[in-house]
Amino acid sequence: MVGTSPVASAARVLLRPTRWLIYAALTASALFFLVPLVVVLLNSVRTAQEIGLGSLIGWPSVLAWDNYVQAWSSYCIAQRCEGIRMYMANSLAMVIPATIVSTALGALAGYSISLWRFRGDNIVFAVVIMGVFLPDQMKLIPWALVLRQFGLSNTVGALVLIHTIQGLSFTTLFCRNYFVAIPQDLMKAARVDGAGYFRIFWRIVLPLSPPILVVTVIWQFTGIWNEFLYGVTFTTGPQQPVTAALIAISVTAPTDVPQYGIQSAAVLLAALPTLLVYFFGGQYFLRGLTAGAIK
């Protein structure tokens, strides 16, 4: 290895044929996975006639931005011609409180389990994270009973309740695993200083937590926004979140021309919030997942 500079050896690695193979394979698979998105993107600015006369795959001849306007406010979904506006509002009304409450409770639960050791704390933790492994279908009937009992059937509030409680398993797991890295000496020092349960949480633990809170919020937001099964099972008509409403979009009266352009625009609008969250928070997400030690 005499006389080999790091730059030169890095360049040699880059030029190796196996490297090229790896890059080629990665590029090919990236293109493959992006094709559906590209098709939807292109169709969202093509007119229905253009798609109907030509092929489903093709370049737009004119940019039909009107598709987005219609999808947002006037397209007919299940006999209501108000676009996806209302369903987007439902989704936001569901995702915002459910994300905030499940993250806050998960942080508090994770804090209790990791830093206030109590008798049976590990058992409590094991039971809580069992929720991570239970399939959603299994929980449909219990939830139906609970919602009827509480008089919450077919309300956005029902979905808030479901996602808050089911989110607790994940948020508790995330926060607990982050908080165990906080040294016990900090807790002891705070206790000698006279701080109690909530003051320690608020003044000492929370200021250390932005990385894991960002992770948890992104996880909850995207998970709850994209959730479909509970939305379609427990709400109907004007109460549905946008994911459930989109299914009605594909139902077109047989006499009509299929409105692929508007439907594509609606799908993209519905995906926009999670895409934005990913663009702005994605870097924190990756960083937060690997962050462990607090020094």
Stretch that binds another protein, among 20-28, 84-92, 190-198, 260-268 (CB under 8 A): 190-198
Stretch that binds another protein, among 24-32, 56-64, 129-137, 186-194 (CB under 8 A): 186-194
CB-nearer residue toward another protein: 185 or 256: 185
Q: At its nearest, how many Å lie between another protein and the CB of residue 290?
A: 19
Q: At its nearest, how many Å lie between another protein and the CB of residue 112?
A: 18
Stretch that binds another protein, among 23-31, 146-154, 184-192, 244-252 (CB under 8 A): 184-192
- Tell me: does residue 38 bind another protein (CB under 8 A): no
- Tell me: does residue 183 bind another protein (CB under 8 A): yes
First to last CA, the chain: 37
Nearest-angstrom CA–CA distance, 75 and 73: 6
Q: At its nearest, how many Å lie between another protein and the CB of residue 209?
A: 9
Contact assessment for residue 255 and residue 179, using Cβ atoms and an 8 Å cutoff: no
Nearest-angstrom CA–CA distance, 166 and 134: 10
Q: At its nearest, how many Å lie between another protein and the CB of residue 192?
A: 5
- Tell me: does residue 186 bind another protein (CB under 8 A): yes
CB-nearer residue toward another protein: 65 or 198: 198
CB-nearer residue toward another protein: 41 or 294: 294
Which of 188, 198, 272, 282 is in the footprint of another protein by CB under 8 A? 188
Q: At its nearest, how many Å lie between another protein and the CB of residue 119?
A: 12
Which residues in 194-223 contact another protein (CB under 8 A)?
194-195, 199, 203-204, 207-208
CB-nearer residue toward another protein: 3 or 295: 295
Nearest-angstrom CA–CA distance, 107 and 99: 12
Q: At its nearest, how many Å lie between another protein and the CB of residue 117?
A: 12
- Tell me: does residue 189 bind another protein (CB under 8 A): yes
b/e map of 199-208 (b: 16 or more CB within 10 Å)?
ebbeebbeee
Q: At its nearest, how many Å lie between another protein and the CB of residue 196?
A: 8
Q: At its nearest, how many Å lie between another protein and the CB of residue 213?
A: 13
b/e map of 80-101 (b: 16 or more CB within 10 Å)?
eeebbebbbebbeebbebbbeb
Stretch that binds another protein, among 137-145, 148-156, 172-180, 193-201 (CB under 8 A): 193-201
| Interface with another protein (CB under 8 A) | 183, 185-186, 188-195, 199, 203-204, 207-208, 294-295
